């Protein structure tokens, strides 16, 4: 509905610009499409592998893998994929996007031939008949509903079905890639913007919490380790200029009377606040 409101706004704004209308009746209606966090669910690699194993044939494995590991839109971009779009030499795949083709320069994009996709596409290429055009051949008629079919496969894999089946597969891939590559690169591959990705695709996963509890192994100390080092007592043996007891102290310890006099003088002393001047250090 919000998309329709947005298009209606564009229509009336164009009419106003051409002086065919004076006011846009949709001005006060919101056209912003907000993400529903309750329907967000990250599909783990482990669950994805179970679903792949439960797929009845290679074509279904392709449909699922292209969504989960290629991050492409299903079914529009899946059905548009041809063998000419697969560049084996450069390990890249051209993705044609019917959804965004009306935007200038957004009709297609290029994604890497991800390692998770390569063996499946190779197998499908070897199995394709001579002169085959499209990579995915199932689901092109009204007799098969990809969503219903995938729902059954997920249940067969004994995995709990997630909402928005294909969208959450694509979102799971974008979340993974965003942990490895700059966000502008990931958005270029997935064909969306940073704002859209943040609102509809990127999720916080259980893996994020697990990594936060695991010390880094890169050689750089963690914040907790740095704090622990900072509060450790300084060992005198590490500083030759600092000794545990100086000769003067040892001499005083040998004179009990002098120690008693010193303690008495301390009782007569008053504490005078000292103002410390700031000193600038250049690093």
pLDDT of residue 135: 98
Interatomic CA distance for residues 43 and 157, integer angstroms: 13
Whether 125 contacts 139, CB under 8 Å: no
pLDDT of residue 58: 98
pLDDT of residue 238: 47
In this structure, the number of other CB atoms found within 10 A of the CB of residue 186 comes to: 23
pLDDT of residue 5: 65
* Alpha-carbon torsion, ordered 229, 230, 235, 236, to 10 deg: 150
Q: What is the pLDDT of residues 165-223, one digit of tens each?
A: 999 999 999 999 999 999 999 999 998 877 877 776 777 788 878 888 888 755 445 45
**pLDDT < 70 positions in the chain:** 1-7, 9-10, 12-13, 17-19, 22, 26, 28-37, 200, 217-283
Each domain of the chain, given as residue ranges in start order, spans: 1-32, 40-206
Q: What is the pLDDT of residues 220-240, one digit of tens each?
A: 454 555 445 555 554 545 445
CA 169 to chain centre: 13
As a whole number of Å, the CA-based R_g of the chain is 33
Is 40-206 a CATH 1.10.443.10 domain? yes
Interatomic CA distance for residues 129 and 39, integer angstroms: 40
Interatomic CA distance for residues 27 and 182, integer angstroms: 36
């Amino acid at each position: 509905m919000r998309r329709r409101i947005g298009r209606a706004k564009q229509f009336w704004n164009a009419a106003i610009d051409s002086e065919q209308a004076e006011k846009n009746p949709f001005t006060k209606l919101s056209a912003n499409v907000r993400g529903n966090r309750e329907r967000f669910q990250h599909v783990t690699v482990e669950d994805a592998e179970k679903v792949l194993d439960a797929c009845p044939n290679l074509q279904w494995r392709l449909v699922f893998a292209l969504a989960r590991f290629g991050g492409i839109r299903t079914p529009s971009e899946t059905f548009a994929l041809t063998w000419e779009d697969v560049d084996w030499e450069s390990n890249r795949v051209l993705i044609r996007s019917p959804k965004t083709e009306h935007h200038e320069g957004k009709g297609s994009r290029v994604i890497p031939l991800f390692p998770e996709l390569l063996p499946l596409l190779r197998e499908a290429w070897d199995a394709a008949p001579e002169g085959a055009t499209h990579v995915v051949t199932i689901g092109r008629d009204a007799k098969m509903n990809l969503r219903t079919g995938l729902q059954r496969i997920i249940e067969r894999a004994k995995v709990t079905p997630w909402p928005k089946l294909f969208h959450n597969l694509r979102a799971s891939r974008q979340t993974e890639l965003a942990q490895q590559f700059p966000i502008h690169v990931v958005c270029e591959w997935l064909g969306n913007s940073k704002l859209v990705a943040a609102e509809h695709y990127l999720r916080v996963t259980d893996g994020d919490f697990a990594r936060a509890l695991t010390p880094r192994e890169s050689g750089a100390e963690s914040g907790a380790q740095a704090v622990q080092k900072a509060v450790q007592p300084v060992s005198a043996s590490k500083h030759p200029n600092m000794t545990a007891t100086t000769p003067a102290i040892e001499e005083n310890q040998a004179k009990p009377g002098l120690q008693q006099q010193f303690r008495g003088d301390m009782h007569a002393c008053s504490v005078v606040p000292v103002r410390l001047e700031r000193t600038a250090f250049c690093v």
